[in-house]
Structure 1
Amino acid sequence: MKKSINLLLTLLLVTLGCSNKEIIEHHYTYSGENESWHVEYRVDNIITFTEGNGKLDTTSEKDRLLTATYKKNLSDLSEVKNLSISYEYSHGGGSLSENYDEAPPTDTIFTIRSGSTGGVVEIKQESIQVTITMDGKEQILDLKNND
């Protein structure tokens, strides 16, 4: 991976010789499912290389959206009191936790959205692990890139 990053930076330096700014975008979608859930994780990475004063600056922006869709009937969730969904990948993750003591879920689609600047960018071959826990019963799904 380090070789591919060095190659990418070298190619960008050559390209930047004619330009002051280069933008690279990566849009990846990972998905997985079991008999109860379909989960999709979408990440949009924008990497900007800017040359100024003989120096190369790099910035990155990331938008992430995890969507977990319960494939069965909404009425099947009527008894659920606690639902948590979390995901992990090699450099981070996110989570959602909901309590339904007063009323059951009103939808079968659950989302986790996040964004950041700087830091590590997900790669196409990334493996995303999703854990869905309903009232203490855990299900684990492994998401793979769709490309």
Structure 2
Amino acid sequence: MLPARCSPEGAQELWEKIEAIAKNDHFKYSRLFAIGVYTFLGESEPQLLEDTEKRDEMLTTVTAGLNLPEEKMKKDLDLYRSNLEKMNQVLEVLEDALAVERQRREKAEAEAKAKTAEATVATETNDEQDEQKETSESGSDA
């Protein structure tokens, strides 16, 4: 039977399927099964995963109800949460690195545009000076 706190729409049917799987004589507990149950509980009540005491209480209820190895499941889920935390930290580092790279690229592009603009202005100034020289030389030749 689905724990009382865990009853979103359609959850009862899913819970019955999980229960049938776990109570099957040929069922062999796996870490993946534990992660699936954990995810199911998290989807049905997200606050549950944030509160350690409530989470442990719910896992105790679930392991007893499904006749699963409680300590092994808790250990597997601790490892899973630890890995998720590490992946989130890596994602943050990657996002920071991408932001720094983006800023560096934008700065380089801005500097390149500034140099191009300077070169254009310098070329136009040189052209004007050359025209003035030619005009003054042609005027002094005459």
- TMscore range, shorter length: under 0.3
- Would you tell me which structure has more helix in proportion to its own residues? 2
Which structure has more relative contact order (CA 8 Å, sep 6+)? It is 1
Question: Normalising by the residue count of structure 2, what TM-score does the alignment of the two structures yield?
Answer: 0.25
TM-score by length of 1: 0.24
Larger Rg: 2
